[in-house]
Amino acid sequence: MKNTTVELQELGLKDYAVTWAYQEKLFKEILDLKIKNRREDLSLPTPNYFLFVEHPHVYTLGKSGDMENLLLNEKQLEEKGATFYKINRGGDITYHGPGQIVGYPILDLDNFFTDIHKYLRLLEEMIILTLAEYGIKGTRSEGETGVWLDVGTPFARKICAMGVRASRWVTMHGFAFNVNADLGYFDNIIPCGIRGKAVTSLNVELGQEYVDVTIVKQKLRKHFTVLFESNFTEKEVLI
């Protein structure tokens, strides 16, 4: 029996390391249940989660990333009020900070479809459809995960980064969508290890000082449920 219900958790502003540990906990619980089902010939439904969170200034480097793409030393990081973590997702280096919607879907893809490529493309489509509601044309860039604007022109810029981990079809990590982000922090890295391409934020593209994050999240949720043929339940948690 496939469980296509997803428990949505709004975590607010949370330290990256605390959230990472919480992701790992949920991830492990799903994996353990899948192993138990297999070993004991059970069919207990596996849960799915979707975490919305905002992080204080932090840089994270994926397992295949290059440390040289971080342009700050330890002292400079401290001066910027930022932290740094080398983590177990795919991809290179990225930045998280206030004004950015970070989403961590922790899904058992056996409940949906067993195709990581399709999973990433649907997450990108969720962002693309949300941007379209603001009159902005988001696109994919061949060979580069995430969502971009004006691909194929000298003005190509990234508005949403993505990097995931999966084991036994269970996912973690996810996407970082710049909505009201301080783009200056991206000057301290080579974003996603890609030279010569800029980064942007939804408020900049709209020429607004601030975009209502609650409304953006509602749009993301709507498109996710359609794309993944799922429904959300909501739960408040303290971590």
Residue 78 confidence class, pLDDT cut points 50, 70, 90: very high
Q: Is 17 annotated as a binding residue?
A: no
> 157: which residues sit within 8 A by CB, 6+ positions away?
148, 149, 150, 197, 198, 199, 200
Q: Is 233 annotated as a binding residue?
A: no
Q: How many angstroms separate the CA atoms of 53 and 34, rounded?
A: 26
For residue 191, is pLDDT > 80? no
Q: How many angstroms separate the CA atoms of 239 and 211, rounded?
A: 27
Encoded amino acid at 54, one letter = E
Percent of the chain at pLDDT > 90 equals 82
Residue 73 confidence class, pLDDT cut points 50, 70, 90: confident
- Please compute the mean of the pLDDT values over residues 65-82 and round it to a whole number: 90
> 200: which residues sit within 8 A by CB, 6+ positions away?
149, 157, 158, 159, 178, 183
Residue with the larger pLDDT of the pair 54 and 189:
54
pLDDT confidence of residue 226:
98
Question: pTM, whole model, 2 decimals?
Answer: 0.94
Whether 192 sits among the annotated catalytic residues: the reply is: yes
- Please compute the mean of the pLDDT values over residues 164-184 and round it to a whole number: 96
Q: Is 174 annotated as a binding residue?
A: yes
- Please compute the mean of the pLDDT values over residues 161-176 and round it to a whole number: 96
Q: Is 16 annotated as a binding residue?
A: no
Catalytic site residue from 106, 120, 189, 192: 192
pLDDT confidence of residue 190:
80
Q: How many angstroms separate the CA atoms of 21 and 18, rounded?
A: 5
Q: Domains of the chain, with CATH numbers? A: 5-235 (3.30.930.10)
